Each structure stands twice: as structure tokens, then as C-alpha cells.
Chain A
Amino acid sequence: MSFDYLTIAVALVGGILFVYANMWILSLVRPNKPSDLKLSTYECGEEAFSSSWLRFDMRFYTVALIFVVFDLEIAFLFPWAVVYRSLGILAFVEGLIFVGILFLGLFYVWAKGDLDWVKAFAKGRIPEVLDGPPSREVRKGVFESGLSGGPERNGGGEEAGTS
């Protein structure tokens, strides 16, 4: 058995070596003539503008955080599953409680709206338009509810300005 783990170690080292040998040895035979245009980043033929470190959606962090919690909890289920048959009814009850807690956590983040990519859609504050462009009424409604358009943001700005 320890021999098998040694093989795994060899496979790990071998996999990395294979990849790097590919990249390094073969780089000896290819041309290398860099120029400014070649080294600029590709933006569909336009000259690249501004920094490429753009601001991205906070939801990516939320997803990663939820993942870490669930991943850790699910990792505990692996040993449980392996010895499940030999432990009998006790393992079943404990598994039931544990998965129940997992479900509870899932429903909590669900109810908080953290599983929705756009929270406002889920809470019904912005009507979600699926087919075709939004109708006149919908656009009017969105504008009046003040969530996607200017009024609330402008209002906030004014408050900040006056105070």
C-alpha cells in the first residue's frame, strides 16, 4: 500500500515535469521576435485602454464564501459514507441531523437572497423581463420605482450634497 502512495508522489512530480518540460524544451525551437504591437493586450483590434484590473461584481466573493462553508461541511460526509453500512442506525440518525443542518444553512442563504445573482430581481423590486425588450409600462414602472434608473441615486447624491 505504501508503494502505491509512492507511485502517487511519482505521478505528481511526473505530471509537473511533463508539463514544464513541454514548455521549456520546445521553447528552444520556436522563433522569438517580440514587438510593441505583439506585446499589447488584445482588445478586438482596438488599442488597449485603461487598466485591465476592472472592478467586478461583489457576488463572486459571496459565492466563494458560501462555497468554502459548504465544501468544508460536505468533506466531513466522506468518512461517514464509507463506513455507513457497518455503523447501522446510529450513523443514519447522525447523518440525518448533519445533512439537516446543511439544508438549514442552504435555505438560510437562499432566503437571504445570496443565491440570486441579481438580488433585486429575486425580491421583485425590479420586474425581470425575459422575452424581448421591456414594454413601455415596465420601463415606466422601473423608472418610477427608482431602482435601476437615476432618481434614487440622484436623490442620494443631493442628500450628501446638502448635508
Chain B
Amino acid sequence: MTTAALIATLVKIAVFFGITISLAAVSTLFERKISAWIQQRYGPNRVGPWGVLQPLADGLKFIFKEEVAPAGANRLLFRLAPAMAAAPAFMTVAVVPFTFPLILDGTRIPMAIADIDIGVLFFMAMGSLAVYGIMLGGWASNNKYSLLGGLRSSAQMISYELAMMVSVITVLTLAGSMNLTRIFEAQIPLWNIAVFPVGTIAFGIFLIAAFAETNRHPFDLAECETELVGGFHTEYSSMKFALFFLGEYSAMVMMSGLITTFFLGGPSLFGLVNGIEDPWIKVLAGLGVFLAKVCFFLFLFIWVRWTIPRFRWDQLMHLGWKLLLPLSLANLLLAGTLVATGVL
């Protein structure tokens, strides 16, 4: 058991971690390409054919640029902040099931790096940790813009975290487990998004909160170029800036993966993939379906960013506290009632 399990885990870490990082890199290219298409211009097209080597060129530039820390900055926190912003997104990869469990000779190998029973709690904990990175970055920079950006971001992320938690709890009442593999397996007959009305409402709330948690438009008041220059990362350069950037895009990939797992049935596709006999083909097909859904949500993230204007600050707090939180609590009660009466 141990040697085989060890090898399986190492392979899973390499593959899933590689997929996440590559998706994050590719989405930085597509962010610019799609923004260019939406604004009717070209976007990156000089580095390699069609600009596909742009992420690589960016990476090299990040590595060889000089790193500047402002004179009054708190050295320790200034270095800690990018790590705190990027690491949680990478760690979340550990619990996300990328495809169906592989069943070989009666042994079930779950296709998450660590198939733990508290997967949902682990994801929530890591999501909460990401707040610290941005807050510390803003605090340690000794810059007015950064401080304001960090404050805004922390208030925003904690406000939307509540609504997100409650909508996840709604999913838990439907699935009856905190194990992410079991959550998507419970949806093979019917995806949670199609469980009308509770699943649909929970999906909407989770999607909106996911935008706010990753500091994406229309909730990017932490960065807010027009008033705060760059917000919390104004003073960051070189690799530290790259880590903030990488953290944001990895968080986007992870959020897309979790939305897919919670509401869109993970790797299942109307029972088509589930019915495949050959274990390896089933696993690969499931991975393909999962990644297609993730790519759709990544596209949605980018699409919304270049289409919808930014919220005003008080509107943001209003939406989070006065609309999403009561709505999600009411939705939870509705889900409880429907489950207790045996409708669901």
C-alpha cells in the first residue's frame, strides 16, 4: 500500500499542481487577448506566434528585474505578504478532485492529492488565510495607497466570505459530506445548479462571492487603478509582485474548480463519462470535462472584468451584508425545509 500510494501521490501532486500553474499562466495571456478582443484591438502578438510566449517573457522579466523595497517598509512583513497571498491558492490544490476516482483491481485511488473528509473546511481556511497576504502587503509597504487598498480588501473579503460559507453549507445539506469527491459524486444524477431553487440560488451567491474573494472586477476596489494606483501592490516589484499576480490567477483557477465541484458536478457530464467501462479512459475523460468547465469559468472571470464597471465602496458593502448574507441564510433554511420534508 505505502509505496504504491506514495508514487500515486507524487504523480498526482506533479500533474495537478502543474495543471493549476499552467492554467494560471495561460489565463494571464488570455486576460490580455480577451480584453483586446472586447476592446477591438490586438493584444500581445509579438512574442512568438500569436503571442503565445508572452507569459514566458513576463516570467523572465519578473526574474531579472531589480527588487525594490521602500525605505520605511517593515522588512519582515513586506517579505511575508506575497508568500501569504500566493501559498494558500497553491495549497487549495491539495483537496480539489480533478476527476473520477481511479479504480484499479478493486483499489480506489481518489483523484484529489489528499482526499480528506474535511476538504471543505480546508478550502475555507486557506481562503481566509489569503486575506492576510493582501492586508499585510498593504500595511507593510509604508505607502498611503497600499494601506487604503489593504484595508478595503480585508473588509471586502471578510464580508463576502460569510455569504460564501453559507452557500457552501447549503451544498453540504444536499450532499451530506465535507469530502469534495463525495460532494461531486452525489451530483452525478443531478447537478446542484439544477436543484431549483436552492442549488441555483446558492450557485449565484457563491459565484458573486468568488469574484469578491479573488479581488476581481467588479469587486477590485483593493487595486482600483484609477484612485489607488495599484492598491496593496503599489510598492511591490519583481518576483514579489509576480507572486501576488500568480496568487490571484491561481486563486481564480481554484475558485473555478470549486464552483465546478460544488455546483456543476465536477467531472461528470450527464452520466456520459460516468458510464465508461475502462478505468483509465474514464479518468482522462473526466479530467477533460472538469478542465473544460474550469476554463469556462476562467473565461467568465475575464469576460466580466472587461465588461462590467467597478462598484462604489458603499454599494459593495451593501450588496454583501444586506443582500447576499440574508438571502443565503434564507436559502439555507429553505434547503433545510425541503430536505426535512423529503422533497430533495
B261 within 8 A of A: no
Does A34 lie within 8 Å of B68, measured CB to CB?
A: yes
Given contacts A60-B155, A110-B322, contact A19 B83 (CB under 8 A): yes
Does A5 lie within 8 Å of B116, measured CB to CB?
A: yes
A86 — nearest CB in chain B belongs to which residue? B176
Q: Which 3 A-B pairs have the closest CB atoms?
A: A81-B172, A117-B314, A92-B340
Does A8 lie within 8 Å of B243, measured CB to CB?
A: no
Interface size of A as a range: 35 or more
Does A71 lie within 8 Å of B70, measured CB to CB?
A: no
In the assembled complex, how far is the CB of residue B117 from the closest CB belonging to chain A, in whole angstroms? 7
Does B142 lie within 8 Å of A84, measured CB to CB?
A: no
Chain B residues in 8 Å Cβ range of A41: 70-72, 141-144, 235
B151 within 8 A of A: yes
B239 within 8 A of A: yes
B58 within 8 A of A: no
Chain A residues in 8 Å Cβ range of B68: 34, 38-39
Of the candidates A67, A103, A115, which one forms a contact with B322 in the assembled complex, judged by CB atoms under 8 Å apart? Answer: A115
Residues in chain B within 8 A of chain A (CB atoms): 2, 5, 9, 13, 63-72, 79, 82-83, 86-88, 90-91, 93-95, 113-117, 120-122, 141-148, 151, 154-155, 158-159, 161-162, 165-166, 169-170, 172-173, 176-178, 229, 234-235, 238-240, 243, 313-314, 317-318, 321-322, 325-326, 329, 332-333, 336-337, 339-340
Chain A residues in 8 Å Cβ range of B67: 27, 30, 32
Chain B residues in 8 Å Cβ range of A89: 340
Q: Please choose the segment from A51-59, A132-140, A142-150 that sits at the chain B interface, where 4 or more of its residues have CB less than 8 A away.
A: A51-59
In the assembled complex, how far is the CB of residue A13 from the closest CB belonging to chain B, in whole angstroms? 10
Does B94 lie within 8 Å of A115, measured CB to CB?
A: no
Does B243 lie within 8 Å of A19, measured CB to CB?
A: yes
Of the candidates B65, B121, B239, B339, which one forms a contact with A78 in the assembled complex, judged by CB atoms under 8 Å apart? Answer: B121
- Within A13-68, the residues touching B (CB, 8 Å) are 14-16, 18-20, 22-23, 26-27, 29-34, 36, 38-44, 52-54, 56, 60, 63-64, 66-67
B158 — nearest CB in chain A belongs to which residue? A67
Does B120 lie within 8 Å of A96, measured CB to CB?
A: no
In the assembled complex, how far is the CB of residue B127 from the closest CB belonging to chain A, in whole angstroms? 12
14 contacts between A and B (CB under 8 A): A7-B94, A8-B122, A11-B94, A31-B66, A39-B68, A52-B143, A63-B158, A63-B317, A64-B155, A71-B162, A84-B176, A88-B340, A92-B336, A121-B314
Chain B residues in 8 Å Cβ range of A96: 333, 336
In the assembled complex, how far is the CB of residue B43 from the closest CB belonging to chain A, in whole angstroms? 27
Q: How far, in angstroms, from A7 to B119 measured CA to CA in the complex? A: 13
Does A81 lie within 8 Å of B173, measured CB to CB?
A: yes
Does A52 lie within 8 Å of B333, measured CB to CB?
A: no
Interface residue SS majority, chain A: helix
Given contacts A67-B162, A71-B161, A117-B313, contact A84 B121 (CB under 8 A): no
In the assembled complex, how far is the CB of residue A78 from the closest CB belonging to chain B, in whole angstroms? 6
Does A12 lie within 8 Å of B91, measured CB to CB?
A: yes
B90 — nearest CB in chain A belongs to which residue? A15
Does B113 lie within 8 Å of A53, measured CB to CB?
A: no
In the assembled complex, how far is the CB of residue A122 from the closest CB belonging to chain B, in whole angstroms? 10
In the assembled complex, how far is the CB of residue B321 from the closest CB belonging to chain A, in whole angstroms? 5
Does B113 lie within 8 Å of A11, measured CB to CB?
A: yes
A16 — nearest CB in chain B belongs to which residue? B87
Question: A7, A16, A56, A67: which has the most chain B beta carbons within 10 Å?
Answer: A7
Does B87 lie within 8 Å of A95, measured CB to CB?
A: no
Does B144 lie within 8 Å of A54, measured CB to CB?
A: yes
Does B142 lie within 8 Å of A8, measured CB to CB?
A: no
In the assembled complex, how far is the CB of residue A11 from the closest CB belonging to chain B, in whole angstroms? 4
In the assembled complex, how far is the CB of residue A15 from the closest CB belonging to chain B, in whole angstroms? 4
Q: How far, in angstroms, from A96 to B95 measured CA to CA in the complex? A: 31
Given contacts A63-B317, A82-B176, contact A19 B82 (CB under 8 A): yes
Does B122 lie within 8 Å of A63, measured CB to CB?
A: no
A4 within 8 A of B: yes
Does A85 lie within 8 Å of B243, measured CB to CB?
A: no
Does A40 lie within 8 Å of B82, measured CB to CB?
A: no
